[in-house]
Homo-oligomer: A and B are copies of this chain.
Amino acid sequence: MAAEPTRIRRLPERGTTDRATIDAILDEGFVCHVAYVIDHRPVIIPTLYARDEDRIILHGSTSSGITRAVRRGSPLSIAVTHVDGIVVARSGFHSSANYRSVVVHGQGTLLEGEDHRHALDLTINALIPGRLGDVRGHTDLELRQTATIAVPLDQVSAKVRVGPPKDDPEDIPTDTWAGVVPMSLIPGLPEAAPDLLPGIEIPDYLKPYKRSPRDT
């Protein structure tokens, strides 16, 4: 992610099209960034997503920018990034971040009927694994007000940086500390809604909230 322009210096940062790596990164997350084009300009938006086998499901309102871009035929570019650490190198040049990232390029398709309903269910389960059985069914109005968009995982790749800083050999014998500060997106204790009826327990799937595959 930092400036590491030559081949040898890029070693710790690896690109891959391995689907197991890609799927693990996608399944760990729930927020992506989506880019589309309007009037020759890029527009980027954070949104929720779910992976459904060989495709990404986005959802939003029927009038959202992403939905309108898909209707116009704009291709999409989607990124999911997990920040895993700060790479504290002895030079600014090699200071960086550890991360795992997937980028998908493709055309989105608006889903309809049972596909749409199924995609909404997947989105709930991706956001809160185990939740689906506890929420009521979608109303017809909700189904009409919501759009779900599928983007195939055809043009997809992952990029991963792991491990300690890769300093230049001449920088190593200094008295400057170097290493990695690990970072994780960590769930806290669930906080009940103010309008929760008394006596309702936190469900097991939130004790603690966890995501696959990191925690399984």
Contact = CB atoms under 8 A, between A and B. Distances in A.
A121 to B, nearest CB: 7
Residue picked from A44, A171, A172, most chain B C-beta under 10 Å: A44
Given A35-B77, A81-B33, A192-B179, A3 B142 contact: yes
Residue picked from A3, A139, A167, A195, most chain B C-beta under 10 Å: A3
Contacts of A178: 192-193, 195-196
Given A42-B74, A103-B45, A181 B187 contact: yes
Given A35-B35, A124-B92, A145-B3, A188 B177 contact: no
A202 interface: yes
A88 B88 CA distance: 37
A78 B44 contact: yes
Interface size class of A (residues with CB under 8 A): 35 or more
Given A95-B131, A95-B135, A179-B193, 18 more contacts: A1-B46, A6-B145, A31-B97, A31-B99, A40-B40, A42-B75, A42-B77, A91-B135, A91-B136, A91-B142, A92-B120, A93-B138, A93-B145, A136-B174, A165-B193, A167-B193, A180-B193, A181-B188
24 contacts: A1-B47, A4-B61, A33-B81, A34-B44, A37-B37, A37-B41, A37-B42, A40-B75, A42-B43, A43-B77, A43-B105, A44-B79, A46-B79, A92-B124, A95-B127, A95-B128, A95-B131, A135-B176, A164-B195, A167-B193, A174-B197, A178-B193, A179-B196, A183-B187
